[in-house]
Amino acid sequence: MEPSPLAPLEHFLPQVWFFILGLFLFLYILLDGFDLGIGILSLTSSNERRRNILMTSLGNVWDANETWLVLMGGSLFGAFPLAYATILNALYLPAVIMVVGLILRAVSFEFRENANNKRVWNLAFGIGSFLAALGQGFAVGTVFEGIKVDAAGHFAGGIWDWLTWHSLLVALTLIQGYVLIGSTYLIYKTTGELQQTHYRTATIAAWTTFIGAVLITITAPIFHEQLRAQLFQPPLFYIFAAIPLLGVLLIFLLLRSLQKREEVMPLVWTFLLFLLSFIGLGFVIFPNIIPPSVTIYEASASPSAQVFMLIFVAFLIPIMLAYNLYNYLVFRGKVVA
Amino acid sequence: MALESLDTVVLSRWQFALTAIFHMLWPVLTTGMSIYLVVIEGLWLKTKNLTYYHHARFWSKLYILNFGIGVASGLPMAFQFGLNWAPFSESVGDFFGTLLGFEATMAFMLEASFLGIMIFGWQRVPPVMHWISTICVAFGANLSTFWILSANSWLQTPTGGVFVEGKFRVQDYFQAIANPFMVKSFAHMFFATLETSLFVIGGISAWYLLQNRLPNFFTKSLKVVLVMALVIAPLQVFVGHLSAEQVYHYQPAKLAAMEALWETVPAGTPADWSVIALPNEAAETNTFEVKIPALLSYLLALRPKLDTPILGLKEWAPSDRPHLVGLIYYSFRLMVAIGLYLAALAIVTIFVWWRTGLEGDRLRNYQWLWWGWIFAGPLGYLAVEAGWIVRCVGRQPWIVYGQLRTAEAASDLPPQVVLFSLSGLVALYTIFFFAALFFGSRIIQKGPNVALPIPGQANAEELEIRIKLAQHQPDRRPLDI
């Protein structure tokens, strides 16, 4: 290959793209997170009126929220084709579970609107949400744990590699996290009896998420040799000491705001908790994109491709954020019966 | 090994074909209908005639149903390049992935974000803002068509770079995006979505007319459809012709399959057009055939004899030419026949409009015409699917024409795993297809609510339908409830 005029950028570009993908993924987990959480919570709704409110709170946003995932997939494909191919190969079954879940959820959302007998579609909506969250949880867990690859970076593991105790733990914790953010979103969007119910579900979910996070934090360095080596080196060590401490503080603030029956703050604390966990995950993975061995530099598309995409995408991100925000602004306020 | 990898390729191809065929049904309608909604809502703003507002509300119910299934079935489309076609993704990701990323960031996000306002925002934003949202939805949807068609056209005519050791290196992005197939293919698909939607709306309107249910209301939608269809349908026949011509120039093997042409027609001799044939791939000939002399020459060059030969399938080794010749041949003919039928229907109806003014009782004398429209409703879908079969089955054995073979592009997965996902999708799609038909026909049965007051006034229907989004904070705008 001839030397490219873009050579000085070869170090910088993959980092920018890692950040952009991180942003897309974070926005997805945050936004579709509360959608999926509400979907899972809808399984516990005691009557159709309550379920209606839950669904109405999602009506105008669910497809825009889900689009961040499509965006993530498309950008990963363009910016890191090797990672896109290898990770999806390794995650075939969790990805299928997730996709089936999302399909089920989206379709039952529309069918339910028109159905006389809503029970089937209610159930399909809840189960779809749960399956999507489960598939995503296993995917996150597996990426966190590492994917077996050969010298060329191609997937070299088995079809069941993703199914381990540790990825199951991550999956269950993610589901709890989604239920938590779904509950705090509902606290913000609803009133009365329904709001009281979700103060309760939020409190329970806060505790279960907390327990899950503690278990993950403790078990990760014990079971993963490479992670242990990485974690206990001086510069990162302080960061990894700080993250759990901040996490405990946030959980405390969250539980207190729930106890004080605040309406907006639980959502804010949950948001910060998600951000903190996500940054922690980013630190563990960086500079790899297929942990534990393929770096963002090795999996990158050519610099010209990354520059070309960057020119457009960097310009579009503020626009996308603006009209998403506008959408939330138009539909601000409480959903009431 | 050989047998196992063959099975995986076949299953992955089936999965892709099935996902694409099912997915396409929904965006075809929403993409085209979005333009119709922009027109009808614009007419409302311009004329203040409440009927147009009721039209916008009624047709957008069908829109949202289709949109939901479109999003849902689009997800496996977005992910299966990595799941089932990992070597392909790695080889052409630099370019192909970039375009899919563009489709998501530029087009789909725009459509999905403004859809919320378009469907639920009638009481929340001023009418002009609502119209702008509808325009954003329509623009986003059609921009999606542009990026998808650019990406697919690149698979047909890959330009703008070179393949080095099996990996595509882009030299000029704009040349790759504007590859030789792009302009005509996009135009063909753009018109296809619009035409399909127009005839669906027209077909449903005709169904109401036939029952004499709200005749004034539905002659209105039919008139808007007619004006648009009269331009679009003949234009589509012409653009379709241009598309076939570009196949002749760039993909001679596909053209030979479309025509079931086994022997080369040398330059200077007339080429016949075959109407019916029974292609026999084993014997490399057609066991039965009816031809119109010299018509193919006229179609391709408006001359009785061509300057360049038309290559027959035998010019390629069996492993280098498309299989399923019969499928390609008949899909092509089906698409052409439907295109001609729809154009003819639009023209005939214009004569009836001219004779009757499309008003009142005189319409009832034209039952045959309304049946012709009802019949036309599903035909657009058939034509679109048939066209894509010609386009993508005809491209085989290549995934990137002349560069990368489909068989080399599939992920090395255990066949049972692909079978598992394939059967899961088949089961879900079957249920969704029938459920969508059921709920779609229920929306049509129920009909439009012509009593709906204009936005901003007390809204009887919404009150009846239970839940309202109300302002929590005191708000100066009129209360929804």
- Structure tokens, B467: 């839940």
The answer, yes or no, to whether the previous bond of B215 is cis (omega within 30 of 0) is no
- Least CB–CB distance from A64: residue in B102, B105, B116: B116
**Do B468 and A336 lie within an 8 Å CB cutoff?**
yes
Residue B470, chain A, CB below 8 Å: the answer is yes
Amino acid at B56: A
Q: Scanning every residue of chain B, which has its alpha carbon at the shortest distance from the alpha carbon of A78?
A: B97
The predicted pLDDT at position A39 comes to 92
Q: State the best of A77, A129, A161 to mutate against chain B, taking most chain B CBs within 10 Å.
A: A77
Q: Is B285 helix (H, G, I), strand (E, B) or coil?
A: strand
Q: Give chain B positions within 8 Å (CB) of A323.
A: 110, 113-114, 136
The predicted pLDDT at position A144 comes to 83
How far is residue B322 CA from its own chain's centroid? 23
Residue A74, chain B, CB below 8 Å: the answer is yes
Q: Give chain A positions within 8 Å (CB) of B100.
A: 73-74, 77-78
Q: pLDDT digits over A187-235, tens only?
A: 998 888 888 899 999 999 999 999 998 898 888 777 777 777 777 777 7
**Do B443 and A114 lie within an 8 Å CB cutoff?**
yes
Structural domain includes residue A330? no
The predicted pLDDT at position B335 comes to 93
Structural domain includes residue A11? no
B residues 133-192 lying closer than 8 A (beta carbon) to A:
136, 164, 169-170, 173
DSSP state of B265: B
Q: Give chain A positions within 8 Å (CB) of B173.
A: 304, 308
Distance from CA of A263 to the nearest CA of B (A): 12
- Least CB–CB distance from B82: residue in A60, A84, A335: A84
Confidence band for A337, pLDDT divided at 50, 70 and 90 = low
Structural domain includes residue A123? yes
Residue B292, chain A, CB below 8 Å: the answer is no
Confidence band for A6, pLDDT divided at 50, 70 and 90 = low
**Do B93 and A73 lie within an 8 Å CB cutoff?**
no
B residues 202-261 lying closer than 8 A (beta carbon) to A:
none
Residue B453, chain A, CB below 8 Å: the answer is no
Quickly list DSSP for A150-212.
-TTS-B-S-TTTT--HHHHHHHHHHHHHHHHHHHHHHHHH--HHHHHHHHHHHHHHHHHHHHH
The predicted pLDDT at position B287 comes to 81
Residue A84, chain B, CB below 8 Å: the answer is yes
Residue A165, chain B, CB below 8 Å: the answer is no
8 Å CB contact between B469 and A56:
yes
Query: Considering chain A, what is the average pLDDT of its residues?
Result: 86
Structural domain includes residue A332? no
Q: What are phi and psi of B413, to 5 degrees?
A: -115, 155
Q: Which domain does A286 fall in, by range?
A: 19-325
Q: Give chain B positions within 8 Å (CB) of A113.
A: 64-65
Structural domain includes residue A120? yes
Distance from CA of B437 to the nearest CA of A (A): 11
Q: What is the torsion angle, in degrees rounded to the nearest 10, for the CA atoms of residue B107, residue A68, residue A96 and residue A140?
A: 150
B residues 414-433 lying closer than 8 A (beta carbon) to A:
414, 417, 420-421, 424-425, 428, 432
Structural domain includes residue A95? yes
8 Å CB contact between B356 and B362:
yes
CA-to-CA separations, A275 to A29, A286, B1, in angstroms, rounded: 10, 16, 46
Quickly list DSSP for A249-265.
HHHHHHHHHHHTT-SSH
Q: Give chain B positions within 8 Å (CB) of A92.
A: 83, 413, 417, 421
Q: Give chain B positions within 8 Å (CB) of A77.
A: 81-82, 89, 93, 96-97, 100-101
User: What number of C-beta contacts closer than 8 Å exist between A and B?
Assistant: 243
The predicted pLDDT at position B471 comes to 35
- Least CB–CB distance from B116: residue in A60, A76, A88: A60
The predicted pLDDT at position B358 comes to 66
Q: How many CA atoms, within 13 angstroms, populate the side-chain half-sphere of residue A336? A: 11
- Least CB–CB distance from A331: residue in B90, B116, B432: B116
Q: Give chain B positions within 8 Å (CB) of A154.
A: 86
CA neighbor of B90 nearest in space, from B193, B188, B177, B166 = B166
**Do A63 and B116 lie within an 8 Å CB cutoff?**
yes
The ipTM, to two decimals, is 0.81
8 Å CB contact between B451 and A315:
no
Distance from CA of B441 to the nearest CA of A (A): 11
Q: How many Å apart are CA B424 and CA B149, to the nearest integer?
A: 28
- Least CB–CB distance from B93: residue in A61, A301, A327: A301
Q: How many Å apart are CA B468 and CA A326, to the nearest integer?
A: 19
> E strands of chain A, at which residues?
288-290, 294-295, 335-336
Residue A157, chain B, CB below 8 Å: the answer is no
The predicted pLDDT at position A4 comes to 61
- Least CB–CB distance from A74: residue in B72, B101, B435: B101
**Do B83 and A1 lie within an 8 Å CB cutoff?**
no
Confidence band for A270, pLDDT divided at 50, 70 and 90 = very high
Q: A294 - beta bridge partners?
A: A290
Q: How many CA atoms, within 13 angstroms, populate the side-chain half-sphere of residue B453? A: 10
Q: How many Å apart are CA B225 and CA B220, to the nearest integer?
A: 9
The predicted pLDDT at position B264 comes to 86
Distance from CA of A41 to the nearest CA of B (A): 19
Q: How many Å apart are CA A56 and CA B53, to the nearest integer?
A: 23
Confidence (pTM): 0.85
**Do A327 and B97 lie within an 8 Å CB cutoff?**
no
Maximum distance among all alpha carbons in chain A? 68
**Do A1 and B164 lie within an 8 Å CB cutoff?**
yes
Q: Give chain A positions within 8 Å (CB) of B113.
A: 64, 67, 320, 323-324, 326-327
8 Å CB contact between A27 and A278:
no
CA neighbor of A327 nearest in space, from B127, B113, B139, B468 = B113
Q: How many CA atoms, within 13 angstroms, populate the side-chain half-sphere of residue A136? A: 26
CA neighbor of B70 nearest in space, from B22, B116, B114, B27 = B27
Residue B447, chain A, CB below 8 Å: the answer is no
B residues 29-48 lying closer than 8 A (beta carbon) to A:
none
Residue A335, chain B, CB below 8 Å: the answer is yes
Question: For chain B, which ranges sit under pLDDT 70?
Answer: 1-6, 358-363, 456-481
B residues 117-136 lying closer than 8 A (beta carbon) to A:
117, 119-121, 124-125, 136
8 Å CB contact between A272 and A250:
yes
Residue A106, chain B, CB below 8 Å: the answer is yes
**Do B86 and A85 lie within an 8 Å CB cutoff?**
yes
**Do B466 and A335 lie within an 8 Å CB cutoff?**
no
The predicted pLDDT at position A336 comes to 67
A residues 184-203 lying closer than 8 A (beta carbon) to B:
191
Q: Give chain B positions within 8 Å (CB) of A332.
A: 471
* CATH number of domain containing A188: 1.20.1630
Q: How many Å apart are CA B148 and CA B384, to the nearest integer?
A: 15
Q: How many Å apart are CA B420 and CA B431, to the nearest integer?
A: 17
Q: A149 - beta bridge partners?
A: A155
Structural domain includes residue A333? no
Q: Which residue has the tokens 């003949």?
A: B234
Q: State the best of B469, B473, B476, B479 to mutate against chain A, taking most chain A CBs within 10 Å.
A: B469
**Do B89 and A84 lie within an 8 Å CB cutoff?**
yes
- Least CB–CB distance from A95: residue in B83, B115, B435: B83
Count of domains observed in chain A: 1
Q: For CA atoms A265, A268, A270, A276, give the dihedral sign.
A: negative
Report the alpha-carbon angle A38-A42-A47, nearest 5.
140
Structural domain includes residue A7? no
Q: How many Å apart are CA A323 and CA A306, to the nearest integer?
A: 25
